[in-house]
Amino acid sequence: MVGTTVAAHGQDREPLGLVARLLLFAAVAVLLVRHRHPALAVAATSAATLVYLGLGYPYGPVFIAVAVGCFRAIVSGHRKAAWWSLGTLWAGHLLAAHWLYRWLPPEGDGPAPWGQEAFVTAWVVAIVAAAELLRVRREQWAAARAEREAAEKRRADQERLRMARELHDVLAHSISVINVQAGVGLALLDSDPEQARTALTTIKSASKEALGEVRQVLENLRTPGDAPRAPAPGLDRLPELVDQAAAAGLTVTVETDGTRVPVPPGADLAAFRIVQEALTNVVRHSGSRTAHVRVTYGGARLGLLVDDEGPATGDDAGGSGNGLIGMRERAAALGGTIDAGPGPDGGFRVTAELPLRPGGEGRPAARDKTGTEEVS
């Protein structure tokens, strides 16, 4: 109201009366609903402004109300409503200023200069362009925010799956050994107490190791920003797997081909877990008491093969599915491949290839005369 009163000085227009004040009030008051009804707000404020100008009242800050309504409508997605309202206001002003001025107040008014129309046109274009730019920027911000939220959710899901794989691999192997030894201990408790004692000792050792690894996984989960307190298992712990399998009654032959090179931590852990899960499946699901493990260092790839002679002892040969899924996920996460299925001799075979980063000159693997490391 104050701005229009000041702007009216020097304009040969109709004096500001009650009708003019009511139109100014309506043009601004309707903006109170612009957040819930942006299309209605921009249409109503443009209509009030058009009537205000058509009745010959002074030019002034009433155009700010139109700009605010237009901005809100375009940003909220009601672009057509904003364009139609602004276009109608501009066309109505053009018609009143150049053709209908003879019949509209004030009396004796002449046509408006075309320079003024150029200014009004530029003002309309500027409002629309600024509102469209703000709309595009808000859409980009919303898309970026949605992408960040999706990325955070993916990271959380990946971390959850990683922890699930670690716990499955740790518990499945150790509990399988414990289950076998518990059966042996129960069977020999009366007839061979010394052998039953050995089985119980194996159970204690396997459970202690499982508790340690579970504790390490949980500590890493609780403090993700801290470095692990103990190194992650790798291929250097294959002899421990062989000893655990031997305690469960499985004889494992380990063979290493090629020149041993440093293995990245991720690939080292994945290789260990794949061999661990494969041997666990042999203990649980195969009638064979022997297994063969081959580790091949070849250029930029690390090859793994775990084979048994079979036959399967149940319908779920090779595992119930979670272990195989975990092995495939580990290999896929590193860009490697894995294949698990019946072997040529009737047993079950797991083969995997994992990528290696260039690690310089490796040290030769310890071998016997035939190039084979055998532990049973």
- Enumerate residues 6+ apart whose C-beta is below 8 A from 20: 4, 14, 52, 55, 57
Beta bridge partners of 253: 292, 374
What's the pLDDT at 107? 77
Q: What is the pLDDT of residue 312?
A: 73
Q: Per-residue b/e over 286-314, b at no fewer than 16 CB within 10 Å?
A: bebeebbbbbebeeeebbbbbbbbbebee
Q: Which pairing describes strands 251-257 and 373-374: parallel, antiparallel, or unpaired? A: antiparallel
**pLDDT for 33:** 95
> Is residue 323 in some structural domain?
yes
Flag whether 250 is in a domain: yes
Per-residue confidence (pLDDT) for residue 372, from 0 to 100: 38
Question: What is the maximum alpha-carbon separation in the chain?
Answer: 126
CA 184 to chain centre: 47
Q: What pLDDT does residue 376 have? A: 32
pLDDT at res. 206: 75
pLDDT of residue 222: 65
**pLDDT in 10s for each residue of the chain, 376 residues:** 899 989 888 888 888 999 999 999 999 999 999 999 999 999 999 999 999 989 989 988 999 999 999 999 998 889 899 989 989 998 998 888 888 877 888 877 777 788 777 887 888 888 888 888 988 998 899 999 999 999 988 888 887 777 777 777 767 767 777 777 788 778 877 788 887 787 788 788 778 777 777 777 677 666 655 545 556 778 888 888 888 788 777 888 999 998 888 888 888 888 988 998 888 888 877 778 889 999 999 878 899 999 988 777 754 444 455 678 878 888 888 889 999 888 887 788 899 999 986 443 333 333 333 333 333 3
Residue ending a domain, among 77, 93, 112, is: 112
- 27 found inside a domain: yes
Question: What local confidence, expressed as pLDDT, does residue 146 receive?
Answer: 92
Q: Helix (H, G, I), strand (E, B), or coil: what is residue 3?
A: helix
C-alpha 121: how far from its chain's center? 47
Give residue 321's pLDDT.
Answer: 59
Q: Does 372 lie in the same domain as 236?
A: yes
Q: Assess if residue 94 is contained within a domain.
A: yes
* One domain, residues 108 and 239: no
- Residue 359, domain CATH: 3.30.565.10
Distance from the first to the final alpha carbon of the chain: 97
CA distance 158 to 145: 20
Q: In this structure, is residue 207 part of a structural domain?
A: no
In a domain, 362, yes or no: yes
Task: Name 122's Cβ contacts closer than 8 Å, sequence gap at least 6.
Answer: none
**Domains: count for the chain:** 2
Contacts of 128 by beta carbon, 8 Å cutoff, 6+ apart: 70, 74, 82, 83, 86
Write out the residue range of the structural domain in which residue 64 sits.
2-112
